[in-house]
Structure 1
Amino acid sequence: MTAILGLNAFHADSAACLVIDGKLVGAVAEERLGKRLKHTSEFPANAVRWLLADNGLKLSDVDYVALPRDTRANRGAKAAYIAANPVRGLRAAMEHLRRSSTTQSMIEKLAEICGEDPATVKFETVPVEHHIAHVASSYYCSPFDGLTAGFSYDASGDFASAMAVRCEGPRMEVLDRVTLPDSLGFFYTALCQYIGFDSFGEEYKVMGLAPYGEDKYADVMQKLVVLPEDGFFRLGKGYFGMHEGGASGEMTEDGHLVMGRLYTDRIVAELGPATRRGEITQREMDIAKSVQIRFEQASMHSLQRMHRLVPSEQLVMAGGCALNGVANARILRDTPFTTPYLQAAASDDGTCLGAAMWTWHNVVGSQERFHMKHAFWGPQYSDEEMRRVATSAGLHVVECADEAEVVERVARHIADGLVLGWYQGRSEWGPRALGNRSILANPAIKTMKETINAKIKRRESFRPFAPSVLQEDVGEYFEQDIYSPFMMHVTKLKPQYREALPAITHVDGTGRLQSVDPDSNALYYKLISKVKQHTGYGVVLNTSFNENEPVVDTPQQALDCFLRTDMDALCLGRYLLVKSGAN
């Protein structure tokens, strides 16, 4: 047995995974466990303990610990940046040294959190460059074995913001990199900050805001992001201020990640005063639109170049920028790539998986492949635990005899207009709720979006809700027949269904699609099929089971969320609770 523990630590979206003999057996983000802080950078101690206990292992059984960080990477680019920017560069160098020291002390830290004698621990530590880990997380989990293009892009990692990779068989060959200060991720995040979305990880909100605007700032955006004929992208000089110091992953006392300002006064000179948080006007919508369009232009430009470097129809992608579902849908329309693959955790939590899989193929030397068909790699709880929690609520509990009764009762409630918490099996890996920790509703009810926002989610009214759709019905409802089991594409509904399914149709006629088939989630597929029998539509509204917190992990957390919100019903495994007076 070869056991590889992958860790994303000392960085936002802390997470861990376990790969045994080349197969993923478990993966979870630290934010789902412990203190439950969104995007936490705390060491993934709870994740590590759960993974080992769930698989009956000790730390001493682990052969490799794979880390998606290699402080030796891109030293030439780092030196050039320091020479050109002495003050900022010195701060960046100090942060680099801090990261190196924390990485080197990880051996002792792991032994301590696992309660084991360091002398019994025999694993080898394998550092993997950040973007190599990103690409590996998708390629080594994809169904592809022949020539495949690999592209990773985000804000930064190991002083790079993008990477082009030629993948074939078990090997990955790095063809090109984009190094700092050029970064599409910094561009997008900086403009998010500028229009008032200044917390970590709010880019998806601005993507949702963009359809309300017009592209009035295209000229400015072309100055901010330059698209050279012989390269991927560059940032305009003087507009952005990365590496202003501050520890990576530093948290405030109330659990929020510390973010320095990424835009300079030169952007203020171009666009006017920055927006205070929460003050959204048409100006902010228009800027969001222009930012999104320029991002898409840069993405398509980069992927056209990627195809020239690796002329294949197959593409794997990862990195925070790869979560931009609007751009992802354009790949199939505007590039030669016909078969893209993104694994469920494409952002930095997924780098632990990429580092582990890279180690399996490039250090262990195995050619045996793994294909990730579903996203359910987190904790699950027993039927007895769900019964105990359900009966503690003081509500009438219906104990369903079998899966068929669960599906029939829940489908009827959804069709009748109830908003229902759906808690089943193992939790999802990655940022999306994909049908095991979800809040579900009938998307054909015109007021459902407003109902859920007001009663449960209590979030910005402009943000859309996602449709989960039977795979065989995607082409019926949507203009693009896309396979998207991990909710990675935003595409237009056909005109005749935009009014029929108003609760999942955004202002521009799009929906963030999750396609559901028996391989990706068998029970969820059966539920949506049964909903279709009642409503005529093979679609449900799906949003994450939470209320301004990480997605629920335990049955107790699910019950607590159900009780403190105006959710109508809750299905914990085969136990169904409905609040009095729910219609």
Structure 2
Amino acid sequence: MTAVLGVCSYTHDSAAALLIDGHLVGFVEEERLSQVKHTKDYPRLAVEWLLKRADITPQEIDAVAYNFSGPRYLKAVPRAISLLTSGETRSRAVPRAHGFATVATRTMRRRQALGRMFPRARVRTLAHHRAHQMYAFAASGLPEAAVLIVDSLGETQTTTIAHGRQPVPGRPTVRTLHAVEDPASLGYVYGAVTEHLGWRRGDEEGTVMALAGVGDPARFRSLFARAIRTTPTAFTVDSSVFPPRTLQPGAVRVTPRFVAATCPPRAADEPVEQVHCDLAAALQERTEDVLLHLARMARRLTGSSRLCVGGGVAANCVGIGRIIEEGLFDQVFVPPAPGDSGTAIGASAAVHVSTAQQPLSGIAGECYLGPSWSSPILDWARWPGLQVRRLSEDRASFLAEQLARGLIIGLFQGRVEAGPRALGNRSILASSMSEGVVDRLNAEVKFREPFRPFAPVVPAERAAEYFSLGQDAPFMSMASRVTAKAREQIPAVVHANGTARVQTVTPTQNPFLHAVLNAFALRTGVPVLINTSLNVKGKPICGTPEMALDCLMDSGLDALLLEDWWIAK
């Protein structure tokens, strides 16, 4: 037996994955168990669950794969000297060199700490983008593809283009063809503007993407065209607008020139004004332009007609949708966990492929990878005032009937999803035709901004009736234009920009959710539901029954279907 533990930890979105003889036993983000969103703590609960599931001890782990390489940060230290030549960047030179050297040292110490936890294991550190690349490609199951990774920072890299090949199933290889180094970083810029607009950097970039749909990009278009210039080798970021990062807490990420050209920073509790909407729209438009430029580079460098996209910026579903619309590729794939948490899988896969002969399995096309609670034993007294009964009838038909009546219902079934999207196992479902459902979901259930849209879920075989994407979207990672039928029947899921972040479902992928959709269609004539994550703003997706019941009690949910338990207020 060969056991490889993949770990994402100490930065944000901690997670763990375990391979036994090349098979993915499981994967889960620590926040789904600890209830601390985007936690950077060592994923203790995730690792404990994985070891229990595999029935092994820490002493039986052969290798630990960590998703960062400390020495690689040191490349930025001598390069920081070049900042001294410009008056605009001179003050950042020493802090940048110090910050990258400090993080390099911390990362190497973290490797040592992991070694002490698993005394028989060899701890392998991987270049961050290699872990992203391996996961994005291995999860696709494709025999060959271009691989584009775009994030904020991986050691010193921010963007890489690679070519993935899998001549033998389960034995993927990925070769980097081009890399972009910091300070040219799309993720850094998007996070900086997110923070300037009053939302949490590294958490609420999706809110800014949604805000962009109600703004006019023309107001700040020229600013972003100057600030992020495309070049034959990718793009550059103007340091007079976005100063080079220092990796030190509290460092400002926009310059006075940016503030003067746009607006003062918005506090989180201040109202959202048109200038904020327009700034978000210009940022989003330029992000899409640069992503499209990078996709063209990937097509040219690899010659591939397929594209896999990973990294935090791959969560920008509108940008992914634009790449698809451009028609550069026959197929575009984004894994269910494109951000850093997914690198736990990528790191373990890369180590396994380089050290063992067994093929990888359990990764391609998989998203339901975390814990399940098939028979939860709960002390119902903790949640007084609930009506609880165990269902004996057809659960899918029962749930569809309640949704057709206009109820907003939490769904907790099967294994926890990987990644930031609820895909039918830890979801909140609602009718896409109920009047005022979006306002009610935002104001009373999710407690979030009124301009935020909600995603539709549809059987894959009927998706073309409502969405023009032209390919499956099983992980809710792509925004699609909608058809006239969608505008007429389900306007609640159409955002102000005319798109919807659709999830397509097959009976193989999620039999229960597919059955619910068909049962709902029998009652209403429409096979589309609203699907959003089982949580409220600021909280992680509910990974445990206790978290789901707390969500029911603390929000405007009407009821919760917890496996075969129907729980209503």
Q: What's the TM-score once normalised by structure 1's chain length? A: 0.91
- What are the superposed Cα offsets for residues 266-294 of structure 1, whole Å, 9 maximum, x if unpaired? 21132242323243111111111110000
Report if aligned partners of 2:191, 2:201 keep a CA contact under 8 Å in 1.
no
What is aligned with 2:8? Answer: 8
1:508 aligned onto 2:490:
no
Distance 2:380 2:56 in 1: 29
The C-alpha deviation readout for 1:106-154, integer Å capped at 9, x for no partner, is 222x25xxxxxxxxx31111111001100111111222123x1111010
For the pair 1:79 / 2:78, whether they are aligned, the reply is: yes
Residues 1:576 and 1:284: Cα distance change in structure 2 (over 3 Å): same
SS at match of 2:266: coil
| CA distance in structure 2 between the aligned counterparts of 1:434 and 1:280, rounded to whole angstroms | 30
SS in 1 for 2:428: strand
Aligned to 1:466: 455
Q: What residue number does 2:511 align with?
A: 522
The alignment's C-alpha RMSD in Å is: 1.9
What amino acid maps onto 1:578 in structure 2?
A
Cα-to-partner distance string for 1:151-179 (whole Å, 9 max, x where unaligned): 10100011110111111123211111111
C-alpha deviation, 1:30, in angstroms? 1.0
Residues 368-423 of structure 1 deviation map (CA, whole Å, 9 limit, x = unaligned): 5554323111111132526x649975543332226xx1111111000010111111
Partners in 1 of 2:22 and 2:479 — Cα distance? 32
Query: 1:207 corresponds to which letter in structure 2?
Result: M
What is the aligned partner in structure 2 of residue 194 from structure 1? 196
Separation in structure 1 between the aligned mates of residue 210 and residue 24 of structure 2, nearest angstrom: 33
Please give the residue correspondences for 1:243-322 in structure 2 after superposition, counting only pairs within 5 Å: 243-246=245-248, 260-277=251-268, 278-322=270-314
Check whether the contact 2:69–2:128 (CA below 8 A) recurs between aligned residues. Answer: yes
Q: Is contact 2:147–2:162 with CA below 8 Å preserved after alignment? A: yes
How far apart are 1:508 and its partner, in Å?
Answer: 2.2
Offset at residue 366 of structure 1 (A): 4.5
2:569 paired with 1:561 = no
In structure 2, distance between residues paired with 1:191 and 1:451:
29
SS of alignment partner, residue 217 of structure 1:
helix
Are residues 1:220 and 2:228 paired?
no
Cα distance in structure 1, aligned partners of 2:95 and 2:442: 46
* 2: CA distance, partners of 1:556 / 1:86: 48
Matches within 5 A, 1:474-553: 474-548=463-537, 549-553=539-543
CA contact (8 A) 1:66 1:126 kept: yes
2:105 aligned partner: 97
CA gap 1:245/1:477 in 2 versus in 1, 3 angstroms: closer
- For 1:447 and 1:490, locate their aligned partners in 2 and report how far apart those are by CA, in whole Å: 22
The unaligned stretches of length 5 or more in structure 2 are: 84-92, 167-171
CA distance in 1 between counterparts of 2:201 and 2:148 reads 27
- In the alignment, the residues of structure 1 paired with residue 135 and residue 428 of structure 2 have an alpha-carbon distance, to the nearest angstrom, of 28
Match of 1:154 among 144, 147, 151: 151
Is the alpha carbon distance of 1:210 and 1:523 closer, same or farther for their aligned partners in structure 2, counting shifts above 3 Å?
A: same
Equivalent position SS for 1:246: coil
- Equivalent position of 2:55 in the other structure: 56
The residue that corresponds to 1:357 in the other structure is 349
Corresponding residue number in structure 2 for 1:136: 134
Is the counterpart of residue 167 in structure 1 residue 164 in structure 2? yes
Shift of 1:77: 4.7
Q: Distance in 2 between matches of 1:167 and 1:272?
A: 43
**Distance in 2 of aligned mates of 1:272 and 1:451:** 31
Cross-structure match for 2:415: 426
Counterpart mapping for 1:28-43 below 5 A: 28-34=28-34, 36-43=35-42
Q: CA deviation at 1:335?
A: 4.6
Structure 1: state its 5+ residue gaps. 112-120, 248-258
- Cα deviation, residue 41, structure 1: 0.6
SS in 1 for 2:151: strand
Number of aligned residue pairs: give it.
552
Q: Residue in 1 aligned with 2:89?
A: none
CA distance in 1, matches of 2:387, 2:199: 42
1:84-106 deviations in Å (ceiling 9; x for gaps): 32342223222322222222222
Q: Quickly say closer, same or farther: Cα 1:429–1:497, change in 2 above 3 A.
A: same
Aligned equivalents of 1:103 and 1:320: distance in 2?
A: 23
* Structure 1 residue 364: Cα displacement: 2.3
Q: Say if 1:82 and 1:88, in contact at 8 Å, map to a contact too.
A: no
Q: Contact 2:317/2:477 (CA < 8 Å) preserved in 1?
A: yes
Structure 1 contact 70–158 (Cα < 8 Å) conserved: yes
Amino acid at match of 2:30: E
The SS at the match of 1:105 is helix
Shift of 1:199: 4.1
TM-score by length of 2: 0.93
User: 2:6–2:17: 8 Å Cα contact kept in structure 1?
Assistant: yes
Counterparts of 2:439 and 2:284 in 1: how far apart (Å)?
25
Secondary structure of 1:92's counterpart equals helix
1:149 & 1:449 partners in 2: Cα distance?
A: 38
Paired amino acid for 2:206: Y
* Alignment CA distance shift 1:428-1:82 (3 Å): farther
Which stretch of the first structure deviates more once superposed, 451-460 or 462-471? 451-460
Whether the 8 Å CA contact 2:71–2:104 is kept in 1: the answer is no
- In 2, are the aligned partners of 1:74 and 1:160 still within 8 Å (CA)? no
Pair 454,86 (structure 1): closer, same or farther in 2 beyond 3 Å: closer
Gap change, CA 1:307 and 1:369, over 3 Å in 2: farther
Identity %: 32
Once the two structures are superposed, what CA deviation does each residue of 1:33-76 show, in whole Å capped at 9, x if it has no partner? 22x21111111111111110122111111111101111233754
Distance across 2 between alignment mates of 1:217 and 1:566: 38
Q: In the alignment, is the contact (CA less than 8 A) between 1:396 and 1:578 conserved in 2?
A: yes
CA deviations 1:503-548 (Å, max 9, x no partner) are 2121222111111112221111111111111111111111111122
Give me the whole-angstrom Cα distance separating, in 1, the residues matched to 2:518 and 2:265.
48
Q: Distance in 2 between matches of 1:418 and 1:369?
A: 39
2:559 maps to a residue whose letter is A
Contact 2:453 2:495 in 1 (8 A): yes
Give distance in 1, aligned partners of 2:190 and 2:376: 46
Go from structure 1 to structure 2 and tell me whether the alpha carbon gap of 1:197 and 1:395 turns closer, same or farther (over 3 Å shift).
closer
One-letter amino acid of the structure 1 residue matched with residue 253 of structure 2: L
CA shift at 1:310, angstroms?
Answer: 0.3
Render the CA deviation track for 1:432-464: whole Å, top value 9, x for unaligned: 111011111101112111111222111100101
For the structure 1 residues 76 and 102, does the alpha-carbon distance in structure 2 shift closer, same or farther, using more than 3 Å as the test? closer
Conserved in 1, the CA contact under 8 Å of 2:69 and 2:107? no
The alignment partner of 1:188 has SS state of helix
d(CA) in 2 for partners of 1:530 and 1:260?
Answer: 53
Contact 1:377 1:429 in 2 (8 A): yes
CA–CA distance in structure 2, aligned partners of residues 91 and 572 of structure 1: 46
What letter is aligned with 1:192?
T
What do residues 157-212 of structure 1 show as CA deviations (whole Å, max 9, x unaligned)? 11110111111123211111111111011111111122222443111001000010
